Amino acid sequence: MMLIAPMFAGFSMPTEVLIVAVIALSYMCLPLVGATVPITLPLGTLVLSVLLNFIVGFYLGLIAYTMVGALYVGSEIFGIQSGFNVSGSLDPTVEESPLTSELLYIVGLYIFVSLKGHLLILKGVVDSTKIFPLVLTDLPFEKLEEGFFRVFLESFLFSLQIALPIIGLMFLINVLFGILSRLVPQMNVFMVAMPASTLIMFLLLVGMIPVWVELIARFMEKLEPYLVEFLGM
């Protein structure tokens, strides 16, 4: 879970702190695990159990990561259509990234933390120790695949909700300047369209932030039902 979940994975948390957090979380979950691993357990079964338990935690983090990652997809489309992707912010820990992607990701991460999404993931890990046995030899992979596909589909649709207004507006702007170039051939439409489009996109960006915040908050509220559905399968 710590490898991929928002707020824990990536470069948002130093590796040393991440290792300490994993050890502390494992120690806190230890009293909740009633079963013990038999000494006579075959090595193959032990390796399989460790792998399946890793998949359980990874799946919990993947659900949250997919939902937050949808912001990046939507903001990338916004940046490409508006031209804001030309400018970027240089993160010394990774690479240059578009400003719109960073803005929406920070907003989404703030809402994710405000809705206690990181605590829901930790709670899901703790609850998984009560639902799944310590020596785990099987998982319902078909249900896991079906559940993740539904999360992925809704995340993709959510990214389109972010990007569709800018796509529609840019189409109308291009049509407008195309008509204008036919009506006034003497005017250099290219020199007028670039600054005008940038100004319109900037005003749209400022106006859409409250709408995006509401959309992101509603979308993030679906995290808990997804986790409950997974743990209740």
pLDDT of the residue at 96: 59
pLDDT of the residue at 84: 66
* Element of type H or E holding 74: helix 43-82
pLDDT of the residue at 133: 74
pLDDT of the residue at 11: 56
* Tokens found for residue 211: 């709408």
Residues 6 or more apart whose CB falls under 8 angstroms from that of 100 comprise: 75, 76, 78, 79, 82, 84, 85, 205
From the CB of residue 75, how many other CB atoms can be counted at a distance below 10 Å? 28
The DSSP-derived string for 5-47 is: STTTSTTSS-HHHHHHHHHHHHHHHGGG------TT--HHHHH
pLDDT digits (tens, 9 = 90+) for 132-166: 777 777 777 788 888 888 888 888 888 888 778 77
Residue 94 DSSP symbol: S
- The answer to whether 107 and 209 have CB atoms below 8 angstroms apart is yes
Would you list the domain boundaries of the chain? 15-231
Give, for all 233 residues of the chain, the pLDDT tens digit.
Answer: 677 777 776 656 677 877 888 888 778 777 776 667 777 778 888 888 888 888 888 888 888 888 887 877 777 777 776 666 655 554 545 555 667 777 777 777 788 788 787 788 888 877 777 777 777 777 777 888 888 888 888 888 888 887 787 788 888 888 888 888 888 777 777 777 777 877 887 788 788 778 878 888 888 788 778 777 776 65
Report the SS3 class of residue 136.
Answer: coil
pLDDT of the residue at 41: 74
Residues 6 or more apart whose CB falls under 8 angstroms from that of 121 comprise: 1, 5, 60, 61, 64, 227
| pTM higher than the cut 0.75 | no
Report the SS3 class of residue 169.
Answer: helix
Pairwise CA distance, residues 128 & 66, whole Å: 20
* Tokens found for residue 175: 């049509």
